[in-house]
């Protein structure tokens, strides 16, 4: 009987001890320390979210997320590219160049980095630097039709129309339905006083994409040949995109002096005044 009670007491003590251990363990907090691999995955996820916010126009939020992703992981060139895009969207061009330089240091063989840098250099009117980085990017990715087109645009800005046309042709050869390059060939030929070729090019661009730019470009070409059709095209262009009523906006789209002069004369036509006033009011309302 005595032995029996001893066993009962021992079992009770063991049960009590086990219960106390479980209770104590349940009170001790558990900390999770992520490893480097998990941190990198988390930073990429944050970076993707930052990139998505750019498309929703939430530029400040995108910038904040991109900065956070970089704080977590400074070794991924993709995150520096995302940060640069967010900085560009927030008009922080110089900071964006710093971010792109960081990306280039990590991986100098990514054409995207050089193409992004060229866009910034064009924005800040450093055409020489824009040309240099574009050519570097094209050495890595020689068939990038957009980069070739952008290089053509630089020559267009420099009024080297023959060189610009050659590059637009090269871009179109890679992507035949690239209406922007066809349109810009039309811009270049107008400045070379080859109006008939400009007409054909603007028509070709319109057949691919009925965009306001080739519509108004064609209207300006036809101003002296067919004013009735020119007015119809100009009305359609301003209805599609009222920004083209503005001289400075057209200049940003690389319209040369000859085409600008022809367009200004066309827009002064009495039959277009209602459309011109409406377009200007839309621009003012949007600003």
Concatenating the DSSP letter of every residue in 250-286 gives HHHTT--HHHHHHHHHHHT-GGGHHHHHHHHHHHHHH
pLDDT(36) > 70: no
Are 263 and 250 in contact by the 8 Å Cβ rule? The answer is yes
Confidence of residue 5 (pLDDT cuts 50, 70, 90): very low
- Of the ranges 44-58, 59-73, 244-258, which one carries the lowest mean pLDDT score? 44-58
CA–CA separation, 164 and 107 (whole Å) = 30
Residue 210 belongs to what H/E stretch?
none
Are 235 and 275 in contact by the 8 Å Cβ rule? The answer is yes
Q: What is the pLDDT of residue 94?
A: 94
| Sign of the CA dihedral running 93, 95, 98, 104 | negative
Confidence of residue 35 (pLDDT cuts 50, 70, 90): low
pLDDT(241) > 60: yes
Mean pLDDT, the chain, integer: 89
Are 67 and 98 in contact by the 8 Å Cβ rule? The answer is no
* 127-184 per-position pLDDT tens digit: 999 999 999 999 999 999 999 999 999 999 999 999 999 999 999 999 999 999 999 9
CA–CA separation, 241 and 248 (whole Å) = 14
Q: What is the pLDDT of residue 188?
A: 98
Confidence of residue 34 (pLDDT cuts 50, 70, 90): low
Are 162 and 174 in contact by the 8 Å Cβ rule? The answer is no
- Of the ranges 52-66, 169-183, 203-217, 225-239, which one carries the lowest mean pLDDT score? 52-66
- Mean pLDDT score, 242-263: 97
CA–CA separation, 219 and 231 (whole Å) = 7
Q: What is the pLDDT of residue 25?
A: 46
Query: What are the DSSP calls for 98-130, one per residue?
Result: HHHHHHHHH-TT-HHHHHHHHHHHHHTT-HHHH
pLDDT(22) > 60: no
Are 56 and 24 in contact by the 8 Å Cβ rule? The answer is no
Confidence of residue 29 (pLDDT cuts 50, 70, 90): low
Are 151 and 171 in contact by the 8 Å Cβ rule? The answer is no
CA–CA separation, 229 and 233 (whole Å) = 6
Report the CATH fold assignment for 177-287.
1.25.40
pLDDT(23) > 70: no
* 86-104 per-position pLDDT tens digit: 999 999 999 999 999 999 9
């Amino acid at each position: 009987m005595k032995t029996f009670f001893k066993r009962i007491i021992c079992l009770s003590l063991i049960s009590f001890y086990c219960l106390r251990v479980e209770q104590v363990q349940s009170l001790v907090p558990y900390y999770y320390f992520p490893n480097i691999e998990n941190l990198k995955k988390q930073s990429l996820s944050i970076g993707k979210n930052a990139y998505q916010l750019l498309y929703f126009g939430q530029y400040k939020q995108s910038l904040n997320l991109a900065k956070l992703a970089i704080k977590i992981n400074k070794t991924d060139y993709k995150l520096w590219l995302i940060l640069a895009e967010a900085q560009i969207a927030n008009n922080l061009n110089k900071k964006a160049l710093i971010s792109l330089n960081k990306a280039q240091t990590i991986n100098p063989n990514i054409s995207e980095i050089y193409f992004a840098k060229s866009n910034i250099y064009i924005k800040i009117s450093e055409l020489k630097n824009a040309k240099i980085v574009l050519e570097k990017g094209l050495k890595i990715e020689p068939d990038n039709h957009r980069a070739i087109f952008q290089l053509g645009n630089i020559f267009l800005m420099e009024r080297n129309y023959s060189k610009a046309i050659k590059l637009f042709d090269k871009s179109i050869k890679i992507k035949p339905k690239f209406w922007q390059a066809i349109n810009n060939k039309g811009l270049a030929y107008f400045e070379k006083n080859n109006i008939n070729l400009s007409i054909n090019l603007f028509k070709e661009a319109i057949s691919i994409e009925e965009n306001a730019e080739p519509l108004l470009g064609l209207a300006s070409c036809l101003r002296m040949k067919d004013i009735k059709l020119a007015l119809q095209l100009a009305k359609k262009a301003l209805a599609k995109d009222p920004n083209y009523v503005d001289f400075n906006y057209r200049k940003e789209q690389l319209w040369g002096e000859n085409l600008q002069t022809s367009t200004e004369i066309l827009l002064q036509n009495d039959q277009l005044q209602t459309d011109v006033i409406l377009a200007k009011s839309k621009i003012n309302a949007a600003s």
